[in-house]
Amino acid sequence: MHIAIAGNIGSGKTTLTTLLAKHYNWQPHFEEVDENPYLNEFYDDMMRWSFNLQIYFLHSRFRQIHSFRSQNKNVIQDRTIYEDATSSHPTFTTWASCRRATSTPTKSSLASWRNSSRPLTCSST
């Protein structure tokens, strides 16, 4: 069995994962932050490194899920792979939709988005 917890940063996913794993004797799996080569850069320049960071997490969760299925164990994960392609990560979804539309975010849209809570927009190239 594979169970994954979804939620915002600081909502208690790791705590819930730990408690459920202990209670049901499941194997817990957590977001790979120690080995992430983009995490420090992300906090230094979020606009530059957010896409790389999100792709790293997506790949990491994909590898974990692939491993879970081959092990046939009961596992619980503190994030879902589905969150990587949803509005939980507006930078990732915008870059992906811009790429599909063969357009890119403009420098001015990145600058204004950085200081607001509105979605990032694309323009044609």
Of the residues 34, 44, 45, 78, only one is catalytic, namely: 78
- Picking from 28, 100, 86, the residue whose alpha carbon sits closest to that of residue 57 is 86
Answer whether residue 73 is part of any domain: yes
State residue 97's pLDDT score: 52
How sure is the predictor about 91, in pLDDT bands with cuts at 50, 70 and 90?
Answer: low
Answer whether residue 97 is part of any domain: no
Q: Which residue has the higher pLDDT, 116 or 27?
A: 27
DSSP the chain: -EEE----TTSSHHHHHHHHHHHHTPEEE----TT-TTHHHHHH-HHHHHHHHHHHHHHHHHHHHHHHHHHT--EEESS-GGGGGSTTSHHHHHHHHHHHTTEE--HHHHHHHHTSSSPP--EE-
Tell me: pLDDT of 79 over 60.
yes
Query: Total domain count for the chain?
Result: 1
Which CATH number belongs to the domain containing residue 36 in this structure?
A: 3.40.50.300
State residue 22's pLDDT score: 97
78 noted as active-site residue: yes
Range of the domain at 52: 2-88
Answer whether residue 13 is part of any domain: yes
